[in-house]
Each structure stands twice: as structure tokens, then as C-alpha cells.
A = this chain, B = another copy of it.
Amino acid sequence: MAKIDAAKIWSLNYRLSMQVITSVAPQIAELGLETKELFVLAEVDEHPHPAELADVLCMPKPTVTFNVKRLEAAGFLRREIDAKDLRRHRLVVTPAGRKVMTEGLAMLSRAFGQRLARLSAAKQAELKAILEELN
């Protein structure tokens, strides 16, 4: 079998992600949320500290600072100082934040769901399994 070109696969993957997110960006914006803010918001539950967020989301720390600040100003996020480690800021999603996060992710699900609908259920499951293995 000819060797599979990894760059090609990466490229397909990247393009897919971008096309989907580009297509929902306007809807998300109507929630008063930039897409990057949604990404941040969506990871706060699992990764409540900015440093982890930067790591998971592959964005530099100042970018996280910036986006967190905006989310906080918008009332979607609250910030608590960890009494055990005064350097750390624990982020907490507010009810309003949870609302827009849920709606934003639902929009993303619908948009990507339309693409996924091209695949059989079996293939969808296979894709998910493969991606989990790769992550």
C-alpha cells in the first residue's frame, strides 16, 4: 500500500475544523461571544486554571488572560483566588456563562452534526474512537 501522506490527512482535518467553525461563528457572535471565548469557556469546568487552559487550548498565556478578562467583564466567568496557592486563579463559570456555553456548543453540534450526517452511525463511532486514540 502506498504510504499515507500524514500532511494530507492533517490538512483535511484542519480544513474540516475550520470550515465548521467558520460557518457557526456568526451565530455564536449573536450570543455575545467570540469563538475563542467559547473555546475557553467550554474548557473551564475541566481546566479551571489559566495555565492549564493555555496548555489544553494551545494558546499562549497572554491570549488566555485577554479572553478570560473579557469573559469576566461579560459576566460569564468569575475568578477566585486559590487560598492554598496565592498565585493560582480558579475560574468558575457563572449561570449566565453556562447558558451561553450550552447554546454555543449546541450550535457547534448542529453545524458539525450536519457534516457527520454524511457518515453512517458506525463510521461516526469509528471516527470518535480514532480521535480519542489520537488525543
Contacts and interface: CB of A to CB of B under 8 A. Distances in A.
Interface of A: 1, 4-22, 42, 56-58, 105-106, 108-110, 112-113, 115-116, 118-119, 121, 123-128, 130-135
Given A4-B124, A9-B128, A22-B58, 10 more contacts: A1-B125, A4-B125, A9-B112, A9-B127, A10-B108, A12-B132, A15-B58, A16-B135, A116-B134, A130-B130
A133 B118 contact: yes
29 contacts: A1-B125, A4-B125, A4-B128, A6-B108, A6-B109, A6-B113, A7-B106, A7-B112, A9-B112, A9-B116, A9-B131, A11-B42, A13-B13, A13-B16, A13-B17, A13-B131, A14-B17, A15-B57, A16-B135, A17-B17, A18-B58, A118-B133, A119-B130, A119-B133, A123-B130, A123-B133, A126-B130, A127-B127, A130-B130
